[in-house]
Amino acid sequence: MYQQIPNTVYPGKSYPLGATVTNGGVNFAIYSENASLVVLCLFDKNNKEVNRINMRWNEEGVWHCFLPNARPGLRYGYRIHGEFAPHRGLYFNPSKLLLDPYAKDVCGEIEPRDEIYGYQKNSLFNKNNFYSRDTRDSAPYNMKAVVVDEDDFDWEDDRPLKIPMRDTIIYEIHVKGFSKLNSKIPENLRGTYLGLSHPESIKYLKELGVTSIELLPIHLSMNESRLTSMGLTNYWGYNSIGFFCPDPRFSSNRCNAVKEFKQMVKELHKAGLEVILDVVYNHTAEQGHDGPQLSFRGLDNPTYYKLSPENEYCNFTGCGNSFDTRNNQTLRLIADSLRYWVEKMHVDGFRFDLASTLARIGSTNNYSKNANFFSVLMQDPILCQTKLIAEPWDCGPNGYQVGGFPKGWSEWNGDWRDTIRKFWKGEANLLGKFACKFSGSSDLYWNRGPLASINFVTAHDGFTLNDLVTYEHKYNFKNGEDNRDGSNDNHSWNCGCEGETSSVSINNLRERQMRNMLLTLFLSQGVPMLLGGDEIARTQRGNNNAYCQDNFISYFDWNLNDRQRLLFKFTSELINLRKSHLIFRRYTFFNGQIDQSSLKDIIWLNDKGLEMQGADWDRHCGHFGIYIDGSCIDATTDQGEHLQDECFLFIVNNESKYIEFKLTNQKNYSSEWHVVIDTYNYPNRPKVYSSLYTLPPHSAALFVEKPRKS
């Protein structure tokens, strides 16, 4: 901790923004174009305000000063003077202590009191009666930024792993939920960054076989007062207020989040596991005009937020506000934040929440793949080398942009999710759509390739895989909104009984359906994403919007039964199968036919073993085969020689009757089929089949073609 509160002040520098430690002290710089005065407030270790420093130096909107002899650990915040005129989009209020947008660490918590609001809460906001400024001090109830020495950590020889997208298998988890109930981890580490990187956690992740851990938001966030009043929290964390600061909720003692996050990344990297952050730059926790005044609103509201011509908040996110990436300063903040997480925190990539909002341009706020947001990231020599993944939609007009992002980006493929769910549910007329999605979604990514598609059956937002085959209706009553929240369109099938049941036949069907969808996921072209816990049939008891459930509903239950262990084994085998065969990890689409003299690299077969013709595609068919030729794949050695893989046959039956498939030879040599996986008979499998194979209802099987032994 710092030894004293400095009083001497020098001009300092306008770059970099934030609090920067040097050999002689700390430089402070913060942007506010429309402020009349910026005041730096210093606090002692008891969070008592002990000094206010007028930052008299201003260069093109950047206010700055230098405090000699200041040290890491110094606590600070800002008070901003200026006009309070909501009808003109200005909310300056020096009574409200504001968090530095570039804060790397914080202390204390935000308390949901009226004092953190910039206006008097008994006043109204409308075009004729703008509310009145609240003059009560918010400092006792807001967090304080803490000066951090960014280089005070021994990374040893750690570097970003840069696993190629074709080799990537994403595992989406919540830091707390993953380890909170794991009794093999010391109690004080459960649910923390260090719990996630504990040897027991890493052992599990390595046995599963995933390559990249995608973390639900770990940026500093806050709980909405509405949730707090109901005894709930914003568990998922999609309510950011600090884009450089790891959330102290996931630190083992709430006072060492930066170093513990770095330690987590270092340990995961040692195990060969990437770290991808789910980031929320589309909005902030300050909500709409009636939300709290914590940072951006009071610093320079027109800079950071999209405003209508009437200076009301544009709400393309459903959260009250939208970050304004049309503004150069806001773009700079986002790019600086991303670069910080790569350079100083060593993360490997990002998944952008509601990414369509970030690419809305001009006065009309229409989405554009030519938006400056994309240009800034793709020209950056550091960021363009990371994994950039979009959630390609938001709540605004024309916001659904699956397939509409530029080169260099991958996307959550919601069309893949919906198609696969509908198909295995048994809906008709999906054969052509299934074929397109299984083959890499060339309808969407024709100019980018299959690796632009992040394929997923389930994600944090919605049913888990277990609940997808257990419930046809959502059960979100514990969220306090009378079950109105969450999607009503889940494409789920309960297999004959709503909720848990003791029926052996229904439970067997549910397990088979989970295996069917997992098998489809890991055989499809594109990049697979597995929702954490699906491999052990984690349930949220029918809640498909558990964003506020910081409890057993969201946590992993590590008391596994035999069936859960078997599903883990199945999932691990699928992942290892995918890793072992390049044919499932193409970076180009299937050609259909390699050349005039060769066989097609993918053939769609009917149950007679013949290539499907127009009539086969037109009929309401839920059973078919897919022959994938591995003799010439889109991969070469360093010397340019084409690599070869084995040939596979994937047969599918989503109907309620038994189907007999003829396994025909697709090669010029005599071959036989070895069963790799059968979702009906798993874990048992016949050894060899050379002619006919009967596939039971709602099941699938994968074969590998081997030369027949003489």
Which residue is associated with the tokens 């980031």? Answer: 279
Query: What pLDDT shows up at residue 3?
Result: 40
Residue 191 has pLDDT above 70, yes or no: yes
Residue 45 lies in a domain: no
User: Among the listed ranges 123-127, 211-215, 292-296, which one has the minimum average pLDDT value?
Assistant: 123-127
Residue 128 has pLDDT above 60, yes or no: no
Query: Region 643-660: what's the mean pLDDT?
Result: 94
- Residue 646 near residue 614, CB atoms below 8 Å: no
Residue 6 has pLDDT above 90, yes or no: no
Q: Is 353 a catalytic residue?
A: yes
Would you state the structure tokens that stand for residue 616, as one six-digit string? 């086969």
- 345: three-class secondary structure by DSSP: coil
Query: What pLDDT shows up at residue 126?
Result: 59
Residue range 632-641, pLDDT digits in tens? 777 766 666 7
Domain, as residue range, for 650:
592-707
Q: Residue 597 to residues 586, 593, 594, 600: CA-CA distances in angstroms?
A: 22, 9, 8, 10
Would you state the structure tokens that stand for residue 633, as one six-digit string? 């794949």
Average pLDDT taken over every residue of the chain: 94
Residue range 389-400, pLDDT digits in tens? 999 999 999 999
Query: Region 123-131: what's the mean pLDDT?
Result: 62
Residue 701 lies in a domain: yes
Residue range 269-284, pLDDT digits in tens? 999 999 999 999 999 9
User: Among the listed ranges 29-33, 172-176, 541-545, 609-613, which one has the minimum average pLDDT value?
Assistant: 609-613
Residue 691 lies in a domain: yes
CATH number of the structural domain spanning residue 632: 2.60.40.1180
Residue 598 lies in a domain: yes
Domain count, the chain: 1
Query: What pLDDT shows up at residue 90?
Result: 96
Element (H, E) at 206: helix 199-208
What is the band of 619 on the pLDDT scale with cuts at 50, 70, 90?
confident
Residue range 145-167, pLDDT digits in tens? 999 999 999 999 999 999 999 99
Q: Please give the full DSSP string across 159-200, using - where no structure is assigned.
A: ------GGG--EEEE-HHHHHTT-TTS-GGGTTSHHHHTSHH
Residue range 335-363, pLDDT digits in tens? 999 999 999 999 999 999 999 999 999 99
What is the band of 598 on the pLDDT scale with cuts at 50, 70, 90?
low
What is the band of 576 on the pLDDT scale with cuts at 50, 70, 90?
very high
Strand blocks (E) in 317-417: 349-352, 360-361, 366-367, 387-390, 410-412
What is the band of 1 on the pLDDT scale with cuts at 50, 70, 90?
very low
Query: What pLDDT shows up at residue 474?
Result: 98
Query: Region 51-69: what's the mean pLDDT?
Result: 96
Residue 479: which of 226, 697, 677 has the closest Cα? Answer: 226
Query: Region 551-572: what's the mean pLDDT?
Result: 98
What is the band of 111 on the pLDDT scale with cuts at 50, 70, 90?
very high
- Residue 28 near residue 64, CB atoms below 8 Å: yes
Active-site residue, selected from the candidate residues 267, 286, 348, 391: 391
Query: What pLDDT shows up at residue 665?
Result: 78
Residue 694 lies in a domain: yes
Query: What pLDDT shows up at residue 533?
Result: 98
- Residue 435 near residue 604, CB atoms below 8 Å: yes
- 114: three-class secondary structure by DSSP: helix
Residue 649 lies in a domain: yes
Residue 652 lies in a domain: yes
Residue 325 has pLDDT above 90, yes or no: yes
Facing residues of 411 across strands?
390, 453
Residue 91 lies in a domain: no
Query: Region 525-552: what's the mean pLDDT?
Result: 98
- Residue 519 near residue 679, CB atoms below 8 Å: yes
Q: Please give the full DSSP string across 665-694, using - where no structure is assigned.
A: --SSS-EEEEEEEETTTTT---SEESSEEE
What is the band of 246 on the pLDDT scale with cuts at 50, 70, 90?
very high
Active-site residue, selected from the candidate residues 274, 353, 511, 634: 353
Percent of the chain with pLDDT over 90: 87
Q: Rounded to whole angstroms, how far apart are CA atoms 594 and 222? A: 55
Residue 536 has pLDDT above 80, yes or no: yes
